[in-house]
Amino acid sequence: MRRRLLPFLPLLAFIASDAEAGQRPDLDVWLGSGAAAPVGDATTLGAFVAARDPDRGAPSLVLIPKDAAQNRAPASTPVAAARRHLAAARSLYGAGQKAIRGARHRFTHDTGRGPLVVVLRQTVAGVDVFHGDIKLLLDRDRRVHAISGTPHPAAHAGSARPFALDAAAAIGLALRDLDPA
């Protein structure tokens, strides 16, 4: 096996020496995406928007200090607290009460000490919304410290539309997108 590969080694070395990665220009598509204007004002909530969705301009990461007004009322369960905090911050996302209420509880990460992470997922007619997870970081007293994700304002129970294609046609289109040949 080695003897058959030895004659090709000089050829590979020659090809590799000719292949050179040239200097590429710096390109940050995020900066040139033309993000929309902010949806809501975080200062009214005492929050800091650390990142925004480039398409809608809605926050994708919100940091909330523990002395913020929405952290003063206790909640009975982590899920109830997460829903209450998300409802209080819904103006930041331009989302209505239906969109927030419609998010289903996916899971709560609770190790018994330290912070809790409550994950909510938006669904429409039983179908998960792509990038529809919202994660809330709560302390043991159920005060919110961060919200990540961007709830879609149009994702609620009444927004379902009928499918335009049957299952076989949809799969066929998806396969053609994957391999157009």
Q: What is the pLDDT of residues 30-55, one digit of tens each?
A: 344 333 444 566 666 778 899 988 87
Answering whether pTM is above 0.85, one says no
pLDDT digits (tens, 9 = 90+) for 55-70: 778 889 999 887 776 6
Residue 128 bridge partners (DSSP): 123
Strands 144-148 and 127-138: antiparallel
User: What residue ranges do the domains of the chain occupy?
Assistant: 42-159
Residue 123: per-residue pLDDT: 84
Cβ atoms of residues 150 and 93 within 8 Å: yes
Backbone angles phi, psi at 137, to 5 degrees: -95, 115
What are 16's two structure tokens? 């590799």
Per-residue pLDDT at 28 exceeds 60: no
SS3 121: strand
Query: Rounded to whole angstroms, how far apart are CA atoms 93 and 163?
Result: 27
pLDDT, position 67: 77
pLDDT band at residue 88 using 50, 70 and 90 as cut-offs: confident
Q: What are 134-172's pLDDT values in tens digits? A: 999 999 989 899 999 988 887 777 777 777 888 899 898
Give the mean model confidence (pLDDT) for residues 4-29: 57
pLDDT of 170 reads 87
Beta strands in the chain (DSSP E): 48-52, 59-63, 104-109, 116-124, 127-138, 144-148
Quote the pLDDT of residue 124: 83
pLDDT at 177 exceeding the cut of 60: yes
- Indicate the CATH number of 42-159 among 1.10.3470, 1.10.357, 3.30.310, 3.90.550: 3.30.310
Segment 6-13 shows an average pLDDT of 60
- The reported pLDDT for the residue numbered 31 is 42
